[in-house]
Amino acid sequence: MRKIEQISQNAYHSAGFIGKYQQLVRDVVIPYQYSVLSDKAPDAEKSHVIANFINAGKALRGEDCGDGYYGMVFQDSDAAKWIEAAAYSLSCQPDAELEKTVDSLVELIAHAQDSDGYLDTAFTIKDSERRWANLLEGHELYCAGHMMEAACAYYLATGKRRLLEVMQKNAEHIYRRFVTEKTEGYPGHPEVELALMKMYHVTHDPHCLELAEHFINCRGQDPDYYIKEKERRDWTVWGNNPVDHDYQQCGAPVREQSDAVGHAVRAVYLYTGMAELAAETDDQELFDACRRLWNSIVQRRMYITGGIGSTAIGEAFTADYDLPGDTAYAETCASIGLMFFARGMLANEVNGEYADVMERAFYNTVLAGMQLDGKRFFYVNPLEVVPGISGVTPTRWHDLTQRPKWYACACCPPNTARLISSIGQYAYGESGDTVFCHLYAAGEVRFANGMSLNCRTEYPYGYEISYDVSGNGRLAVRIPEWSGKFSLSVNGSAVTAVPEKGYIYLSVSDGDSVKIVLDGTPRFMYASPRVPALSGMTALCRGPLVYCFEGVDNSGDVLSLSVDPDSLPRPCGFDSGLLGGSEKIAVSAFRTSDDMPLYSDSAPTQTPCEAYAVPYYTWANRGENQMRVWMSRIR
């Protein structure tokens, strides 16, 4: 069933817009985040991640473990994601100092591993007798999964096996407990499933594949497992409700699930593991379940920005069409997980819909999760903020108007860094003699089949994409659903092609030049009338970018604006000095007077005006502002 293999992490060397972001991660984000993990970043939330590994090593040696453990129970995963981001960066641009820093952290991690293979600083330092007793909340398998991913990435980038061997030993420890010894249970927070698939592809250890399959297959077979687990212990981490089957995605075996429910990050991490396993084992029943869950998300439970998880209560999915913008949760990690899921689906089926969603999530919610300077981060990504209300009132406490430097629960910042650093694995793929371009990513990419491409484009602000081809084979390029028309030429001659499930397929030869021109016309978007929060509203998009209206561009106030969707939006021209290089769009609008009481029986006056929008990913970079994605329309 596997249709597309992802490229190796060191096969893509970026340029253009993507290259700028990867350079930012390399030069600013990775060093800054390491300073946070080392508790050396000024005015940032305390992390203690590296100190936890040092103290765990001391505890295993019977020494005084210093100041003990600090942080969330899953704090180890922040180090794992940082290592993964560093590995992807090293694969493209060697850096001896960075590699030395990673090596030193790997040694601390190795010395924090128990002799039986167990690795988790929270339990090693303070709760060693409670190992594996709280799968619901303990996050031991979650942390193991992230460290497995880091180990694979660092080995592939550098050839160094130290961390990979640590995690092979850890995987074997987990295998013994849950497969050999048949201990009941499955991860409270899915992640290890997709990580084990990566371990299998790197090490070819059949136990990794078997263990991934075990955790996926046993999930939901006993929906009450967590209830029974809680009855066996007299302690809790944070009081999770074991009865909430939806929150844990365990109300039914995974092959019987149809609706995306519960904690959004946990859900898409689980679905990614399912999709990867389905592709590897040619499991049609499992893929059919993935397809139902995919449709549940993208057809009924996804924001226009690619955000998912509409409520702060449980960071979760709610119900179909419940997509309020002003109280949106839309965690950055959830959109990153949605990209994982999309790539997993592409491994099963060549369908442009998956790459369309991957693109939507990346250029909007994922990039919005990081400030343009790489030093501040959003955990939550609302589609509307109002200073004085957002981040203040009980219903909107989570929707902040500015990005913090760090978080006590800091899953999103390093997740963003590793995603941006590895974007080539999402942009390109291959199968036999065919190479796939899922996303338009400038730069050079080499494929295992001998072909290579040089992609030249100003995307997402330019809509002409050129590929210089080396080698012979087939080129498959996605034509995005948003581009109502496109033109195609090969070696300067126009070619007519009809997309097949979103992709055009071309036979190409060494030296060929392929050019695609997409439709970059700005467009108004409308929501289904079944979305109650968006009745009478419209949003503005251009290419893959969702736009938003900020007060700084609109006399300080966007709440009083109503746009005219019958007038054509007017691009203002790319401005290299605006928000790191971006483009405003002007639209015709009316401003409602605000000199009225709370309620009035007199219609307010409206004055024609121009309103200006900027790409959503750039918002909250110019001080505290009102911001809206969905705007009232005059008709």
Q: What does the alpha-carbon distance between residue 433 and residue 447 come to, in Å, rounded to a whole number? A: 10
- Given a contact cutoff of 8 angstroms between Cβ atoms, the answer to whether 445 and 11 are in contact is yes
The pLDDT value given to residue 3: 72
Confidence of residue 484 (pLDDT cuts 50, 70, 90): confident
The pLDDT value given to residue 262: 97
What tokens appear for 625 in the block?
């502002």
Average pLDDT rounded to a whole number, residues 502-515: 98
Q: Catalytic: which of 276, 315, 349, 353?
A: 315
Least confident range of 3-7, 372-376, 580-584, 608-612? 3-7
Q: What is the pLDDT of residues 221-230, one digit of tens each?
A: 999 999 999 9
Q: What is the pLDDT of residues 248-284, one digit of tens each?
A: 999 999 999 999 999 999 999 999 999 999 999 999 9
Pairing of strands 561-563, 631-633: parallel
The pLDDT value given to residue 157: 96
The pLDDT value given to residue 2: 52
The pLDDT value given to residue 327: 96
**DSSP reduced 3-state for 77:** helix
**Residue of higher predicted confidence among 549 and 10:** 549
**Residue-range domains of the chain with CATH:** 429-518 (2.60.40.1180), 523-633 (no CATH)
Torsion of CA 293, 294, 297, 300, to 10 degrees: -90
Q: Does the pLDDT of residue 94 top 50, yes or no?
A: yes
Least confident range of 195-209, 551-565, 591-605? 591-605
Q: Does the pLDDT of residue 9 top 80, yes or no?
A: no
What tokens appear for 357 in the block?
């969603």
**Other beta carbons less than 10 A from residue 492's beta carbon:** 7
Least confident range of 7-21, 69-83, 98-112, 186-200? 7-21
315 is catalytic: yes
Average pLDDT rounded to a whole number, residues 602-607: 90
Best CA proximity match to 19, nearest among 621, 548, 583, 581: 581
Q: Does the pLDDT of residue 167 top 80, yes or no?
A: yes
The pLDDT value given to residue 440: 98
Q: How many CA atoms lie within 13 A of 311 on its CB side?
A: 13
Average pLDDT rounded to a whole number, residues 467-493: 97
Global pTM reads: 0.97
- Tokens 């009081």 identify what position? 239
Q: What φ, ψ does residue 530 adopt, rounded to 5°? A: -80, -5
The pLDDT value given to residue 379: 93
Q: Does the pLDDT of residue 594 top 80, yes or no?
A: yes
**Residue of higher predicted confidence among 234 and 43:** 234
193 is catalytic: no
Q: Write the DSSP assignment of 502-545 as a string of letters.
A: TEEEEEE-TT-EEEEEE----EEE---TT-GGGTTEEEEEETTE
Q: Does the pLDDT of residue 517 top 60, yes or no?
A: yes
How many residues belong to the chain?
A: 635
- Given a contact cutoff of 8 angstroms between Cβ atoms, the answer to whether 220 and 254 are in contact is yes
Q: Catalytic: which of 208, 290, 333, 411?
A: 411
Average pLDDT rounded to a whole number, residues 476-489: 97
Least confident range of 509-518, 531-540, 597-606? 597-606
- Given a contact cutoff of 8 angstroms between Cβ atoms, the answer to whether 280 and 298 are in contact is no
Q: Does the pLDDT of residue 299 top 70, yes or no?
A: yes
Best CA proximity match to 339, nearest among 314, 367, 300, 319: 367
Average pLDDT rounded to a whole number, residues 93-114: 97
The pLDDT value given to residue 10: 82
Percent above pLDDT 90 for the chain: 93
Q: Does the pLDDT of residue 395 top 50, yes or no?
A: yes
Confidence of residue 556 (pLDDT cuts 50, 70, 90): very high
Q: What does the alpha-carbon distance between residue 253 and residue 258 come to, in Å, rounded to a whole number? A: 11
Q: Does the pLDDT of residue 1 top 80, yes or no?
A: no
Mean model confidence pLDDT for the chain: 96
